[in-house]
Amino acid sequence: MKEKLISDGKRIDGRKAEEFRPIEMKLDIVSRANGSASFRFGNSVVVASVFGPRALTPRHLQKPDSCVLRCRYNMAPFSVDDRKNPGPDRRSKEISKVTRLALEPAIFLEEFPKATIDAYIEVLQADGSTRVTGINATSLALVDSGVPMKDLVTACSVGKIDDTLIVDLNGKEDNNSEADIAFAMMPSKDKITLLQMDGLLTKQEFLTAIKMAKSYCKKIYELQKKTLKEKYENVD
Amino acid sequence: MQEKYALELIEKGKRIDGRKFEEFRPIEIKPNVIKNSEGSADVRFGDTRVIAGVKLNIGTPYPDTPEEGMLRVGAEFSPLAAPEFESGPPGEDAIELARIVDRGIRESECIELKKLCLTPEEKVWCLFVDIHIINHQGNLLDCSALASLVALLNTKIPKLEDDKIIRNEFEKPLPVVFKPINITVGKISDKFLIDPRFEEENILESKLSIAIRDDDKICSVQKQEKMELSLEDIERMVDIALVKSKEIRKLVK
């Protein structure tokens, strides 16, 4: 009855369990932003732009000893199968919050008291794992903006389907998985900044899945660094 | 001031109210406190107090689950409960809390949603769990998750006559088969603690909320607060939650 999502060791899109979809990153998407980037995991496409540090108004929101990071995760109405009503829903609000918390530890926010950094994340096309795609894009946009950072933040999703742990869930896998985890870390510091899980996993499976997410984040990290270096290598 | 004092104490291995790091405040559970709801609970962790109420209505199922009842969890941080709560639509924290409680219930498969179907694709029971904060003295999440669970365990499905709900007459209890328990473990100065009071919550570096089912399966996890965690931290926090979830589950009949 239920469609098998893995057969002969292959997933519905032909991938192996531990294979992610084609990744593509670009910088300088928004010309008047301080930093911007796009990130693609297969058919999930996200653009992020960063403005600031800039003055924070209203002033009562300012922090005397720190910059305030604000993140807005938003899905375009045409990004999903059934049109999504524009504007923030409960899911987007939660994702905006966890995105902010995933990125905050990597930024030297104390360098810019009373200011704000605004990060805007637009999902243009959704096929699963959009929040981690958004974090990868935003992390690139932050570096591109020149704000001092301790490390990049790199994110990926892992899940369990047909008793197999897989990386980078697509939309269909996301909807039918036994469990899925959204994960982000600062790879060179080896610290985890986003961890959300839902589904059913034993403790052992959970820890194995995190280890798997860590090793995949480190691969994505190399690609992110390469993208950033290329931009500056081509400067005369 | 209070926060600074709480931090100094924690660094000395003590807590502001004299508890051990892995000790709950006294937990008090009162089921069926609201007559007009189909199920309810009033739960306290020390001074923290949450009332959860369940209402059932008839609705159209989601297209992707045409033979299952629907579940929706909402939370209201009423301005009566704390000076920092403001009136208006639910903010980010209330939404996050409700969604974490929702995932704990949903992913644990504790409610047999298939048994809530009346006519496939047309009519199903919709379960609304509403969380009302009465007093915020820290650890709202674990208290809210427990209040929601107890409310569901005491929920009765109303009688139907010609597809009309007869309120206050009941057909059968809601089919609840597991008891997911949410445990939030906080980290500060390389120490781990549970059930933080408000003053402690404000100084925690990181929190991990973990929902655990009767068979020790983890059904939802959410990292909260600003600071990062290592894999070793997470393993330690999961271990604490596994032990502590059993302690709370014993209190739930």
What tens digit of pLDDT does each residue of A108-166 get? Answer: 999 999 999 999 999 999 999 999 999 999 999 999 999 999 999 999 999 999 999 99
Task: Please answer yes or no on whether A199 and B216 come within 8 Å at the CB atom.
Answer: no
- Residue B246 CB-density burial (10 A; 0-12 exposed, 13-18 middle, 19+ buried): middle
Specify the CATH number for the domain of residue B193.
Answer: 3.30.230.70
Residue type, A68: V
Task: Give me the pLDDT at residue B87, please.
Answer: 86
pLDDT in tens, chain A (236 residues): 457 888 888 999 999 999 999 999 999 999 899 999 999 999 999 999 999 899 998 999 999 999 999 999 999 999 998 889 888 999 999 999 999 999 999 999 999 999 999 999 999 999 999 999 999 999 999 999 999 999 999 999 999 999 999 999 999 999 999 999 999 999 999 999 999 999 999 999 999 999 999 999 999 999 999 999 998 887 66
Cα separation, A193 vs A54, in Å, equals: 25
Q: What is the dihedral of CA A40, A197, A207, A152, to 10 degrees?
A: 40
Please tell me the distance in Å from B30's CA to the nearest CA on chain A.
29
CATH class in words for A17-228: alpha beta
Q: Please calculate the CA angle B22-B95-A128 and round it to the nearest 5 degrees.
A: 100
Tell me which residue in A101, A195, A203 faces B242 most closely, judged by beta carbons.
Answer: A203
Measured in angstroms, the CA of B95 and the nearest CA of chain A are apart by 6
- Report the residue from B109, B218, B221 with minimal CB separation from A196: B221
Sequential DSSP letters for A121-160:
EEEEE-SS-HHHHHHHHHHHHHHHHT--BSS--EEEEEEE
Q: pLDDT tens digits for B36-88?
A: 899 999 999 999 999 999 999 999 999 989 999 999 999 999 888 998 998 88
d(CA A53, CA A55): 7
> How far A210 CA sits from the closest chain B CA (Å)?
8
Q: Which of A210, A133, A211, A169 is nearest to A6 (CA)?
A: A169
Residues paired with residue B170 on neighbouring β-strands, in sequence order: B158
Q: What are phi and psi of A77, to 5 degrees?
A: -55, -30
Query: Residue A1 has what pLDDT?
Result: 42
Residues A191, B228: C-beta atoms closer than 8 Å: yes
Q: Which amino acid is located at B212 in the chain? A: I
Segments forming the whole domain that contains residue B131? 2-249
Element (H, E) at B2: helix B2-11
Q: What is the pLDDT of residues B127-175, one digit of tens each?
A: 999 999 999 999 999 999 999 999 999 999 999 988 889 888 899 999 9
Secondary structure letter of residue A229 according to DSSP: H
pLDDT score at B198:
93
Beta-carbon count within 10 A of A22 CB: 8
Estimate to the nearest angstrom the gap between the alpha carbon of A163 and the chain centroid.
Answer: 25
| pLDDT for the residue numbered B200 | 95
Name the residue in chain B with its Cα closest to that of A96: B92
Residue A230 has what pLDDT? 92
Residue B3 has pLDDT above 50, yes or no: yes
Query: Which amino acid appears at position A45 of this protein?
Result: V
What local confidence, expressed as pLDDT, does residue B204 receive? 96
Q: Indicate the residue of A96, A104, A200 with minimum beta-carbon distance to B226.
A: A104
pLDDT at position A2, please?
59
Q: What domain count does chain B have?
A: 1
Q: What is the pLDDT of residue B29?
A: 98
Q: Where do we find the tokens 């790091």?
A: B21
What pLDDT band is residue B253 in, cutting at 50, 70 and 90? Answer: confident
Residue A170 CB contacts under 8 Å (≥ 6 apart), including other chains = A12, A13, A21, A42, A43, A44, A127, A128, A129
Location of structure tokens 């200011």:
A115
Distance (Å) from the alpha carbon of B67 to chain A's nearest alpha carbon: 15
* Whether A195 and B92 lie within 8 Å, measured CB to CB: no
Question: What residues in A contact B220, CB-CB < 8 Å?
Answer: 197-198
Which of A203, A208, A210 is the best residue to mutate to test the B interface, defined by the most B CB atoms within 10 Å of its own CB? A203
CA distance B170 to chain A (A): 32
Q: What is the pLDDT of residues B70-80, one digit of tens each?
A: 999 999 998 88
Mutate which: A197, A201, A210, A214, vs B, most B CBs within 10 A: A197
